[in-house]
Amino acid sequence: MSSRGDRMVQAMRLRGMTKQHALAFAIGVNESTVTRWKNDGPMSVEHAVMLCTALDISLDWFLTGAGPIDAPRPQVAPPCSESGFLASMRQADTALSEQSKLLLAAFIQSIVTKQQGL
């Protein structure tokens, strides 16, 4: 199994980032820090997340080598049909406090007003 440093180098190559200083700049660390990571030196969770974001890679893959290299894509909700919207509003009506309902109604009204150009 490859080391974390090997996976970092692999991801850099895959993403066309051939220079360590480019990655260091993208994350906001010194180039020596990237060199240390490349040699499997200590790394904070925050820096691991920033590195994975900069390289668009999976944190699981980077840390453990398990799973696909590509970062998971956010699930996009399917377009909401009118009946789905109304069902959601019915659920909100039973789940929300009166104050929350008033705020939600005001928010929706502000969107509708803006859309109508009023």
What is the distance between the terminal CA atoms of the chain, rounded to a whole angstrom? Answer: 62
* Cβ-based burial of 77 (10 A; exposed 0-12, middle 13-18, buried ≥19): exposed
User: What percentage of the chain carries pLDDT values higher than 90?
Assistant: 54
- Per the listing, tokens 């789940």 go with 95
pLDDT of residue 79: 63
The CATH H-level (homologous superfamily) assignment of domain 4-64 is lambda repressor-like DNA-binding domains (1.10.260.40)
Domain ranges of the chain: 4-64, 82-115
What is the model's pLDDT at position 50? 94
For residue 97, pLDDT over 80 is answered with yes
Averaged pLDDT, 41-66: 94
